[in-house]
């Protein structure tokens, strides 16, 4: 068993962070370094999948649950529109190898992609 990830430690209450929403298998927190007016992380409670490619192959229903939670949160925290970003791999900027979706919302009319 690998060391608990930072997100597992947050879920277990070992690192302070407000859990803004939970479903059966996923939870959400605010990113500590927000890149948009609303920047949430939607995270499976299990850390067994390192990235979105592993998650899609191993548990597509859980990936669908993450997207549903992202959609709910974008409606609660912004106007319902959102950008969903999964970094996969260190060369793409991934720093935490416990799969998570960045939910970016609010004032994103100026596109960067
Ligand atoms: P990534 O670079 O895609 O792996 O994203 C990891 C994200 O986790 C970064 O955007 C960090 O700002 C965020 N992060 C790291 N530590 C914490 C923390 N303790 N609470 C909230 N967000 C965090």
Q: What is the pLDDT of residues 25-57, one digit of tens each?
A: 999 999 999 999 999 999 999 999 999 999 999
- Distance, in Å, from the CA atom of 105 to the CA atom of 108, rounded to the nearest integer, reads 6
Residue 1 lies in a domain: no
- Distance, in Å, from the CA atom of 2 to the CA atom of 76, rounded to the nearest integer, reads 34
Asked if 103 contacts 74 with a C-beta cutoff of 8 angstroms, the reply is: yes
Residue that the structure tokens 């669908």 belong to: 64
pTM given for the model: 0.96
Asked if 31 contacts 40 with a C-beta cutoff of 8 angstroms, the reply is: yes
Q: What value does the mean pLDDT of the chain take?
A: 96
Catalytic residues: 100
- pLDDT for residue 59 is more than 70: yes
What domain range is 87 assigned to? 6-105
Residue 75 lies in a domain: yes
Query: Rounded to an integer, what is the distance from CA 98 to the centroid of its chain?
Result: 9
**Which residue ranges have their beta carbon within 6 Å of ligand 1?**
6, 15, 17, 29, 31-33, 41, 87, 93-96
Name the domain count of the chain. Answer: 1
């Amino acid at each position: 068993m690998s060391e608990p990830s930072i997100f597992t430690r947050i879920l277990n209450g070992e690192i302070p962070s407000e859990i803004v929403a939970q479903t059966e298998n996923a939870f959400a927190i605010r990113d500590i370094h927000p890149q948009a007016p609303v920047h949430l992380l939607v995270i499976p409670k299990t850390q067994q999948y390192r990235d979105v490619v592993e998650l899609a192959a191993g548990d597509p229903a859980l990936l669908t649950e993450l997207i549903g939670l992202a959609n709910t949160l974008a409606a609660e925290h912004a106007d319902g529109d959102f950008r969903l970003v999964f970094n996969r791999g260190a060369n793409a900027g991934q720093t935490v190898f416990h799969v998570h979706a960045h939910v970016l919302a609010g004032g994103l009319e100026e596109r960067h992609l």
